[in-house]
């Protein structure tokens, strides 16, 4: 099923295969972010953090050989006009938001370990092998248990059941069957796939999307017991870029770069990042002190991208209205 998923990702898009790989893995560089933004791929950022490059490239090469994807001279891949896109109802992730929530694997491990801890302690068995070896995750779950869950076990259990009930039934099934506890082993992807009559790859996507939904539901004010388990949502714009944008009014890019002891190119990337992921549509401001058009190809390139980002943002606003 992964080939079908990749073909649908590349459909009506113009992306290099290595860039798509980095987007799915969540490797944050400006060029990867820009490619994701301009191709409407930001929702899938970090969707497959453990995707092996060799397996991914093998699938890409197979799709190229079958003429379902074609590479142009610059290495960009597109879906060929002759490719028959599978129109059968394929399940698709709808709730992922990798830029503003903790990594899916981390969130999944936090939830799974918390359930495991509650299960073991309910059977008076405090000595068990944690489902994840990561010390920081173990420490966060222990802290959550001592500060929140220990004194409100019945309410914690009830809230968990309510949160799971809000997931689509098949996704709740996938998420619950990946739990581990006292006398309860985690179901394998293959076993879950057979139980759900789906491809194992789709089941894994369902789990990721289910974790994303669970995390989002936990952020609602009424869910007071499970919300503290997870790190809070993060801003899509990095703290460094936010600092740059706070310093920029009334200053040139060169002045901000000097004040922050950063390269001017980094400041320009911060502006573009804020333009893509921030709250407002940004356009060129004379105070930035850019060279006149045609005098500096690097600054002209920055202008072109800023204009492309603004056009895309304004188009999205029109569609939303």
Calpha distance 85→68 (Å, rounded): 9
Nearest to 231 by CA among 54, 62, 93, 110: 110
Q: What is the pTM of this model?
A: 0.83
| Sign of the dihedral through C-alpha 189, 191, 196, 199 | positive
pLDDT tens column, 270-284: 999 999 999 889 999
Q: Can you give 132-159 as a three-state secondary structure string? A: CCCHHHHHHHHHHHHHHHCCCHHHHHHH
pLDDT tens column, 89-140: 467 888 888 888 888 889 999 999 999 999 999 888 888 889 899 999 999 9
End-to-end CA distance of the chain: 35
Q: Which pLDDT score is estimated for 86?
A: 55
| Sign of the dihedral through C-alpha 66, 67, 72, 76 | negative
Q: Could you give the C-alpha distances from 196 to 6, 112, 192, 302, 313, in angstroms and in order?
A: 22, 20, 6, 49, 39
pLDDT tens column, 53-99: 999 999 999 999 988 898 888 889 988 765 555 555 467 888 888 88
Nearest to 206 by CA among 197, 41, 52: 197
Give the HSE-up count for residue 203: Cα atoms under 13 Å, Cβ half-sphere.
20
């Amino acid at each position: 099923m992964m080939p079908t998923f990749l073909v649908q990702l590349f459909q009506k898009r113009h992306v290099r295969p290595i860039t798509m790989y980095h987007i799915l893995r969540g490797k944050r560089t400006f060029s990867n972010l820009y490619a994701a933004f301009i191709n409407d791929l930001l929702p899938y950022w970090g969707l497959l953090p453990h995707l092996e490059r060799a397996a991914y490239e093998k699938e890409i090469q197979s799709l190229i050989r079958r003429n379902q994807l074609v590479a142009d001279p610059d290495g960009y891949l597109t879906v060929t006009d002759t490719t028959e896109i599978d129109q059968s109802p394929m399940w698709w992730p709808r709730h992922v938001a990798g830029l503003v929530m903790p990594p899916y694997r981390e969130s999944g491990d936090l939830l799974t370990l918390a359930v495991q801890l509650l299960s073991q302690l309910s059977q008076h068995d405090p000595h068990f092998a944690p489902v994840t070896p990561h010390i920081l995750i173990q420490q966060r779950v222990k802290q959550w248990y001592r500060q929140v869950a220990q004194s409100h076990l019945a309410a914690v259990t009830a809230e968990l059941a309510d949160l799971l009930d809000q997931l689509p039934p098949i996704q709740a099934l996938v998420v619950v069957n990946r739990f581990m506890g006292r006398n309860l082993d985690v179901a394998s992807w293959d076993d879950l796939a057979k139980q759900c009559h789906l491809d194992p790859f789709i089941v894994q996507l369902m789990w990721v999307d289910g974790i994303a939904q669970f995390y989002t539901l936990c952020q609602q004010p009424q869910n007071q017991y499970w919300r503290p388990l997870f790190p809070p949502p993060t801003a899509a714009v990095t703290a460094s870029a936010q600092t740059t944008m706070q310093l920029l009014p009334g200053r040139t890019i060169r002045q901000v770069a000097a004040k922050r002891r950063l390269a001017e190119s980094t400041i320009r990337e911060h502006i573009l990042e804020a333009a893509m992921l921030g709250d407002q549509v940004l356009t060129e401001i004379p105070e930035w002190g850019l060279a006149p058009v045609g005098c500096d190809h690097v600054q002209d390139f920055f202008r072109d991208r800023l204009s492309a980002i603004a056009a895309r943002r304004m188009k999205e606003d029109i569609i939303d209205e």
